[in-house]
Structures are given as structure tokens and as C-alpha cells.
Structure 1
Amino acid sequence: MWKQTTERTIAIVDDHPVVIEGLRTLLHGTPGISGMHAFTSGGAFMAWLGRNHADLVLLDIMLPDANGLDLCKDIKRMSPETVVLAVSNQAERSMILQILQNGASGYLLKNASAAEFKKCLDEALNGGVAFSREVREILARPGRDELRAPATLTRREKQVLQLVTEGKTTTGIAQELHLSPLTVETHRRNMMQKLEVKNAAELIMAAVQRKLL
């Protein structure tokens, strides 16, 4: 599934047992998964995370004891290397943007197909930012409160930006555009400076807000 050779531990945080069982079934037998742990509350998961490590967290936004948006921030504060993917029925643009701001590496709606779901997991675990198809469509819609005028990007920067939103790695972008990885990193760094952001998730969020995608 994913390119890294080390095995991965996945945590599922969702208060609906049927969702947990569905995700377990979907991921069962996937090469590279060494363990799956499920939690029906944010508190139980954070207590576990204090003593254990999770490579990937599939996080519901609405939990009985916690707001998933805030919980994402707590997870990244406690374990910065843990990849967080929001998995939710909530299709509000503001929620998607907020959890990206809080450190998530992507957002999937629960109606995503199995193939789409696995593809997004692969993208996130390989350092990309992953969205299910419907989430991409939501993000592409103009927001009501666009705070800044669009920044000016070069044609090449826009090409790189588009591939970043597709979850491509620096190496993959370099191969597709016939550039060196160093050149791709330079374009990425220039865009982050122009948009005043610190990482790929914030870059995508800022690009959406300023209608650059």
C-alpha cells in the first residue's frame, strides 16, 4: 500500500462501532500494517497515545467527549510525527480548513470508496496531503470570507502547486515536470514564503482561500 518498508500502527477514533468495524475490514490484510487499535472517545485515545505510538490516526470530527478539531491539535502537540487523517460525515468547508490548520494531513468523507480511501492513506503516509474527491470539490468552491487578495504565482509555481494538492511528493513532481528535486523544493519554498505558510497543508489551505486552485 505505502512505499515505506517499516510496518505501521493505525489508530481509529470514532464513536460508532459500525464505522470502526468497517475500517478494520477495509484495512485488514493490508501489507505494512502491524496493528490496529480502536477507541470510541478522545480521552481514551489520548490516554493510550501517552504510552504508545501511532503512525496514523483516523479521526472522527464529532466525538462524545471531544471536538475532533481541537483533538487533532492535541495529538500533533503530543506526537508531532503522527499523521492525522480526519474521517467524517461533516462536509463544511470551514471544518476542513480548520483541521488542516490544526495539523491534519487530510480529510475524507465517510462516503468515500474503498479504493479512494486506501489511496488517501497512501498519500498521507508518504508525506502528502490527502482529500477524498468530494472534499476536493468543497475546497474548490470559493469561500464567503476570502480575507486576502490573490497572490501572484508564476506558471511553474502553479504547476507545482497543483501537483502538491494531488498528494505528489517532491520526487514525483520533479519527474512529472522534468525538473530536479532541488528546483521543485525551491518553487515550494517560494510559494510558502509568498503565502506566509509553514507546510504543505497550510499551503493548500491558503491557495484555496486566495482562489489559486
Structure 2
Amino acid sequence: MSKDNNIILAIVDDHPVVIEGIKALLRQEPDFGVSVSFTNGTDFLSFLKGNEVQVVLLDIMLPDINGIELCKEIKAQSPDTLVLALSNQVERSIILQVLQNGASGYVLKNASAEELLGCIRDVMNGEIAFSREVKEIMTRPSKTALKEIPTITKREKEILQLLAEGKTTAAIAEQLLLSPLTVDTHRRNLLQKFKVNNSAELIMAAVQQRLL
């Protein structure tokens, strides 16, 4: 199916006041282009079938669909759409679930306007983005985070740092004078050592272990 429009940013939140506040903020940032909004997940999924959306600000507490599951559905339907979770939920387990379902970041609704805009830009630049308070939540030691820290090589540490900066495999290979295949091999080894499934989980595990 061809896409009718290229929408840079969509807002999915069941609170009209939140939507209007974010829209007012985005109007000051012309580089974010057209934004659309939805008060439930079902309408957004229908819209996504016929339109390209670059970034979606997703409230994870919606009236019709669990936002964590909706994130997974969005990524299944449109893998290139970037999801930035926007929530009042501060539980580490919820943050991790959203990341595991494909989100590129997590911002608390009490974040400043500057923080939110910064996180949107980071996500659009291919980085994993968190508001300041979320970073603090994720770096607090938890029982599960206190397991043995994996031993990684100097090269793996370099690649881990560059992944955290949002660098692509090609960019890392160029910077470190390695082949993309070698970089991918190191990344797979890191995923195995940290017992995680993707780069977002890898970065969060590294943060928890104070390796970043």
C-alpha cells in the first residue's frame, strides 16, 4: 500500500491538554514539520496504514490499547517509525518493557520543554533518548542489576560507547577502521554477554552496570 503523506511527528495521548501543549511547543520548531494527534491507539494504527510517520510520542496509558503492546504493534506495522514513550509511569520494569518492544526512548511528562525537544531530536538522529529523571531511575542499582558484571574487551567497550552515541554499524566501522562484519560480530558478542536482545537493552544494561 502506498503512503499518502509523510508525517514527521504524531502524538498519541488521551489528554487533550497534553496534546495541545506539545503541539504549541512543536509549532516553535519548524524543523519538526507537520504533527498530527490521536486520543487512542486504534485510530493511530489505522492512520499509520496509509501514512508515513517518522516519530510518534506515545502515552503508554491509553483507554483502548495498552501502550506497551501498542509500541510493539507500531514497530511490527511500520519498523521505520520511531517510538518515544511519554508517560507518568516511573517503574523501571515498565520502562524496560517499552524498550524491549522497540521504543527509542522514554520521557516523563514532568520533563521540561527543552528536555522533550532534545529527546525528540536525539531519537530522530538515531539515538536512544531518556529524560533526566528516567536516566536516574535506570542507573539506580536493582536486585537484577547487581548480578555479575560481564567482562568485555577494550574494543567491545569502544563499540559499546559508540552504540550508545547512536552510531550506525557503518559509522563505527569507519571510525575504528574495521569492517562492518567485524563490528556486527562484536555487537552480537556484547548482546550475548549481557544476555539482551537488542542495542537498546544492551545500552540500558551497560548503564546499570556503570559501564557507560
TM-score band, normalised by shorter chain: 0.7 to 0.9
State the match for 2:79 in structure 1. Answer: 80
Whole-Å separation in 1 of the counterparts to 2:17 and 2:125: 28
State the match for 2:89 in structure 1. Answer: 90
State the match for 1:25 in structure 2. Answer: 24
Paired residues, number: 204
1:60 to partner: Cα distance: 0.5
State the match for 1:43 in structure 2. Answer: 42
1:91 to partner: Cα distance: 0.9
State the match for 1:3 in structure 2. Answer: none
1:212 to partner: Cα distance: 4.0
Alignment CA distance shift 1:46-1:168 (3 Å): closer
Whole-Å separation in 1 of the counterparts to 2:48 and 2:37: 12
1:75 to partner: Cα distance: 0.5
Q: State the one-letter code of the partner of 2:25.
A: L
1:83 to partner: Cα distance: 0.2
SS of residue paired to 1:53: strand
SS of residue paired to 2:53: coil
Equivalent residues of 1:126, 1:169 under 8 A apart: no
1:134 to partner: Cα distance: 1.0
Which shifted more, 202-211 or 135-144? 202-211
Whole-Å separation in 1 of the counterparts to 2:151 and 2:21: 44
Equivalent residues of 1:9, 1:33 under 8 A apart: yes
Equivalent residues of 1:150, 1:211 under 8 A apart: no
1:51 to partner: Cα distance: 2.1
Whole-Å separation in 1 of the counterparts to 2:149 and 2:197: 18
SS of residue paired to 2:30: coil
Whole-Å separation in 1 of the counterparts to 2:142 and 2:22: 32
SS of residue paired to 1:54: strand
Q: State the one-letter code of the partner of 1:109.
A: L
Whole-Å separation in 2 of the counterparts to 1:58 and 1:159: 31
Which shifted more, 180-189 or 89-98? 180-189
1:195 to partner: Cα distance: 3.0
Equivalent residues of 2:7, 2:52 under 8 A apart: no
Q: 2:126 matched to 1:127?
A: yes
1:210 to partner: Cα distance: 5.4
State the match for 2:167 in structure 1. Answer: 169
Unaligned regions of 5+ residues in structure 2, if any? 1-5
1:88 to partner: Cα distance: 0.7
Unaligned regions of 5+ residues in structure 1, if any? 1-6
TM-score scaled to structure 1, two decimals? 0.82
TM-score scaled to structure 2, two decimals? 0.82
Q: State the one-letter code of the partner of 2:85.
A: A
Alignment CA distance shift 1:111-1:180 (3 Å): farther
The superposition leaves residues 74-116 of structure 1 with CA deviations (integer Å, 9 ceiling, x where unpaired) of 1001111100000111111001100000000010111222222
Whole-Å separation in 1 of the counterparts to 2:134 and 2:84: 13
The superposition leaves residues 128-184 of structure 1 with CA deviations (integer Å, 9 ceiling, x where unpaired) of 11111111111111222349532111244335434533x442488789xx7447589
Q: 2:19 matched to 1:15?
A: no
SS of residue paired to 2:8: strand
- The equivalences for 1:138-149 within 5 A come to 138-146=137-145, 149=148
Q: 2:193 matched to 1:194?
A: yes
